[in-house]
Structure 1
Amino acid sequence: MSRAVIYEAFGGPEMLELREVPEPHAGPGEVRVRVTVTGLNPMDWIISSRSEVAAQFGITVPSGFGSDLAGVIDEVGDGVTGFAVGDRVYGSALGRAVADFVVVGTPADSLWHTPEGISDEVASTLPVAGATAAAALAAIGLRSGDTVLIGGAAGGVGVFAVQLAKLAGATVIGTASEGTFELLRQLGAEPVAYGPGLADRVKALAAGGLTAATDLFGTETAEAALALGVAPERISTIAAGPNPPGGVRATGGIDAAPDAVKRITDAILAGKISVPIAANFPVERIREAVTLQAGRHVHGKIVVTL
């Protein structure tokens, strides 16, 4: 037997249970990963709490939980090439990542080798958040010389978006709560408080004008950017649904370029991107971890260790 986090009905973190389950095994074209760390994302708890969102991803109850994982391959099925027992890997397994063992197929877009020099803890944070941040910036054609407003800049996706934008040569203004201002300054962004009056505060900071924006939280940042005259095609959102305000561009990790995650790992190895870990919980405390994640005031990434 092995352990997995399961929920029988949609709802809050109290629905999550760590249970003993039959041990899975790799079939043809698959590998089994002995999971060491999983990285949490807002979509994890949104899927487990809202049946209509889960349906969009083809998830029904009972279900496993989580998406991002890192660990070591301990079984390899027939026909698998490029992966071997003992390889350190990271990747995604939507709706089943928080488990001792996860069986995954081996396409290059869902499982990667973990580079030497990157810990499992850091690797587990990359697939969803890294790809989403890259997609959000690609959707607006971010380029050197831009002044970009990033909404939710201190969150799990935001910390990647800020640093990727800086590497692209942009000036970054990031919305956040005052408690995260110092973190954003360390990452290279000029912080600004979210809430009523955002457009006026951003205008005061962007002396040369705002040229692009991405909203990683809802619609407030997108609406402020529109009010400041940013063209809709230069504004993206990831959490406003398929029809965001004013014709701005909706996007997500699925739209990321095939090499987006590898480019992020290369930047981490080069010391150009850092990954702030806000908290690390043992899997036995999964409900606490998800409660913290769902509060939407996390400064960086939350990981769960198995």
Structure 2
Amino acid sequence: MAGDKDTLLSMGFDAARVSWALKATGNSGLQPAMDHILAHEGEAVPDLGAVTEQASSRPSDAMDVDEDDTDALRAAGINVDTAEAKSIKCSLCGKVFKNTALANYHAEKSGHDQFEESTEEVKPLTEEERAQRLEELRQKMAIKRAAKAKEQEKEDKANEAIRRKTGKDLNKIKEDLKLKEAQKEAEAKKREKLEDAKARAAIKAQIEADKKARAEKAAREKALREGRPIVDAPSASPSAKPAAAAQAGVAGKDYKDTRLQIRMSTGGQYTTTLPSDSPLRAVAEFVAAQTLDVHVDTVTFTQTFPRKQFSAAEMSKSLRELGLTPSAVLIATP
């Protein structure tokens, strides 16, 4: 009916959904159409060409009166030939419907399957009843929409909680990664700084060694020019070396400790101070404690200036006896 359609449209329902409800309920009234809309609110509107009116098998069966029933009614004094059916009545609940479509809709909703014809006339709704019915429908719709909105709000809160937790986890992962990167960068800078310091120390020591070597060379050349004997020269008399060693030994007695700078032939250097009476093996044990690449029994030491490689027999001699006091630079070879 055009009036029912206009009423449903004025309530804010979609036109296609209203047409679907009216056709599906056989234009049986506002209430069935509204119930249909509420029952199928979340469904997509189908093609109206494929929508058929509700079946009328159960009420129609109730309307068919066989001959035995007619005879029984006549025997009871009821004139079935003149009685005019004005409505359809549900035998289970007593509700009266003005047409088959409404009875079918009732059967669909309630599950009742026993109907009969009735001479009781269903009066049309008054304007007041119609307004009351519309208000009831609006209230049902509002309650259903409020429940749906509450459920949607609950779902949105759950999704927001998940999103926040995921965001916190991602932020923590990012912070951890940044911290690890910062630590790696700090360690790299520290290693670089140590390597630079070692390189500068090595260069400085080499410069000092070169300076000392040049001074020694100049002293030898000057001694040659002046005709004086050279203590460490091969042509020097055998008595010169014992004299120099004795002089060094006398000077070494004045130093209780010996400071050593040990350069590794494989790279790196160490500095330590040992008692001057310590054997050279103590230096080997010190270096072996600093790195796994060195073994006490296999490491060898070489003095930079004057150039000298210490033998295995000299490992038991003291630093004082070897003339390494008060300080010396040794090159360790694993």
Alignment TM-score, normalising by the size of structure 2:
0.19
Give the structure with higher Rg (CA).
2
Q: Which structure has the highest helix share of the two?
A: 2
**Structure 1 length normalisation: TM-score?**
0.21
* Greater strand content: 1
Greater relative contact order, per chain length (Cα 8 Å cut-off, separation 6+) = 1
